[in-house]
Structure 1
Amino acid sequence: MILHKSNALTFFTPNPIKGLGAPFFDTGISAGFPSPAEDFKEQRLSLDKELVKNKEATFFARVSGQSMIGAGLDDNDLLVIDRSLEPSHNKIAVCFLDGEFTVKRLKVNTDGVWLKPENPNYPIIKITAENDFIIWGIVTNVIKKV
């Protein structure tokens, strides 16, 4: 279900899937040379349990734009956002800034707070008292299509 759409993000509420989850083979997948055949131990894996730690405070948002490509967040990626986590220096956060949602890396020190894009084509944003600013949640995972 879509909650909100802005220029940078489209928010969704998680809709947990009831059931056993998808098959999961806990053998490791070699990204180099193939490994010899092993006994496959099949388990069930629930992405809800893997990605959602606090159900009431977790939301999804789809990225729109290229400002965070250096952090691996590409256009149309799906972010998992936990609103119960404390914001801190170097975390990737979804912020509400002057009427718009944005996703940026937090830079926090004694001189203030900055929102740092991970693309040199975008400016770093210094937060001032004049800004309407809220750190809305912390990005915990990104889901990509390949």
Structure 2
Amino acid sequence: MNSPIPTLSTPARIVLFSSPVCAGFPSPATDYAQHSINLNEYLISNANASFLFTVRGESMSGIGIYDGDTLIVDRSITPAHNNIVIAVVDEDYTVKRLYQRNNIVKLLAENPAFPPIELKDGQELRIWGVATFNLHNLLRV
């Protein structure tokens, strides 16, 4: 995984429609735009501690994180059991689900083809930050 990319400094505004879009049976759409939102405010709770990471690999595909996706990662959030985290294992960055129970800490993939990462003697683990959003390009095939 690549090093973090700094956050955007210019606010990105986009129109938010007041009518939700139905993912089941179609409903009449409303052509009324309620207001615009600042995507930085919507997606980032702590700009000074937030970074973007580009995902490489398929180990998290089971929860919809795919190769080429962009994760928003917040370093100010205290990592907790079951969070999706950016971890550093022996100086290598990885994205995994944090398992932290009964003095057992391991990193879990969300693809059965990838085994859990269980630390061996002498290995170093640092939790770099907690993933808060996944930006997935729906046009990318």
- Structure 1 length normalisation: TM-score? 0.87
- Structure 2 length normalisation: TM-score? 0.90
TM superposition outliers: structure 1 runs of 4+ over 3 Å: none
In structure 2, the residue matched to 1:11 is 4
Q: Percent identity?
A: 34
Which whole-Å CA distance do the structure 1 matches of 2:28 and 2:83 have between them?
A: 40
In structure 1, the residue matched to 2:60 is 68
Q: Which runs of 5+ in 1 are unaligned?
A: 1-7
Corresponding residue to 1:50 among 42, 48, 61:
42
- Give secondary structure in 2 for the equivalent of 1:113: strand
- Give secondary structure in 1 for the equivalent of 2:42: helix
Q: Deviations over 1:9-32 (max 9, x none)?
A: 44211113247x112212101223
Q: Which runs of 5+ in 2 are unaligned?
A: none
**For residues 1-146 of structure 1, what are the structure 2 equivalents within 5 Å?**
8-18=1-11, 21-38=13-30, 40-146=32-138
Deviates more, 1:28-37 or 1:60-69: 28-37
Change (3 A) 1:69 1:43: same
Q: Deviations over 1:53-109 (max 9, x none)?
A: 001100000000001111211000000000000111111100110121000001111
- Give secondary structure in 1 for the equivalent of 2:27: coil
- Give secondary structure in 1 for the equivalent of 2:99: strand
Which whole-Å CA distance do the structure 1 matches of 2:103 and 2:38 have between them?
A: 43
Instruction: Quote how far apart the aligned CAs of 1:128 are.
Output: 4.2
Number of equivalent positions: 138
Which whole-Å CA distance do the structure 1 matches of 2:11 and 2:4 have between them?
A: 22
